[in-house]
Amino acid sequence: HGEKKQEIEALLKAFAETVKTGSAQSMVHLGIAFHYKGFEDEAADLFRDASRVDPENHQAPFYLSVCEMRLGHGESAVQCAKIATERRPTWADYRNNLGEAYLMAGECGNAALEFEEAVRINTYYADAWFNLGLTFVTNAILQKESRLFANVISRAGDSFNRAVLIYPDYQT
């Protein structure tokens, strides 16, 4: 308990000092630390501040999108992920993240497009293949996007199988 308390106090002290320095990159790095410790609100504040300080920063909107998803803010997550993806359109992680945000927001068609682009960029991207399969199944349940209905079982199965081939832990 004491060690955890010291860690939190150190993070909060670093938070105050980082905001004073005005370094976008420092804010992003500290925001990532807060994010991995589960302090999503504080991390989101840092990513927003970093975006204001450096409007061209691509990491801040990417991680802000991740935080917004964890906080249950689907539409905001989509907007942030779009910004990051516009800044780095060939980064498969950013495409996958935008797909996850779309899926959370119930936009299965857009989610599928982003996952398909992620695996086009990196055919060995197990998470994107898995998410694509999940999108096919989710869309079938929600009956959202008719273009995704065709061969849904085989398309979902193919996506899941590819994910397992790349990352066998998906089997479980």
What the block records as the tokens of 93 is: 């992680």
The pLDDT assigned to 35 comes to 95
> What mean pLDDT do residues 115-124 have?
98
Distance CA 111, CA 107 (A): 6
Q: What is the pLDDT of residues 8-55, one digit of tens each?
A: 777 777 766 766 677 899 999 999 998 998 999 999 999 999 999 999
Compute the C-alpha angle 69/70/73, nearest 5°.
45
Percent of the chain whose predicted confidence (pLDDT) is above 90: 77
Q: Which residues contact 106 (CB under 8 A, 6 or more apart)?
A: 74, 142, 144
- Of 11, 6, 48, 8, whose CA–CA distance to 28 is shortest? 48
Sign, Cα dihedral of 83, 89, 91, 97: positive
Task: Please state, rounded to an integer, the average pLDDT across all residues of the chain.
Answer: 92
The pLDDT assigned to 7 comes to 74
Q: Tell me the three state secondary structure of residue 151.
A: coil
Q: What is the pLDDT of residues 127-141, one digit of tens each?
A: 999 999 999 999 999
Q: What is the per-residue DSSP string for 100-147?
A: HHHHHTT-HHHHHHHHHHHHHH-TT-HHHHHHHHHHHHHHHHHT--GG
Distance CA 69, CA 63 (A): 10
CA 157 to chain centre: 23
Distance CA 83, CA 64 (A): 10
Q: What is the pLDDT of residues 1-13, one digit of tens each?
A: 567 667 777 777 7
What the block records as the tokens of 76 is: 């905001």
Its pTM stands at: 0.88
Q: What is the pLDDT of residues 59-92, one digit of tens each?
A: 999 999 999 999 999 999 999 999 999 999 999 9
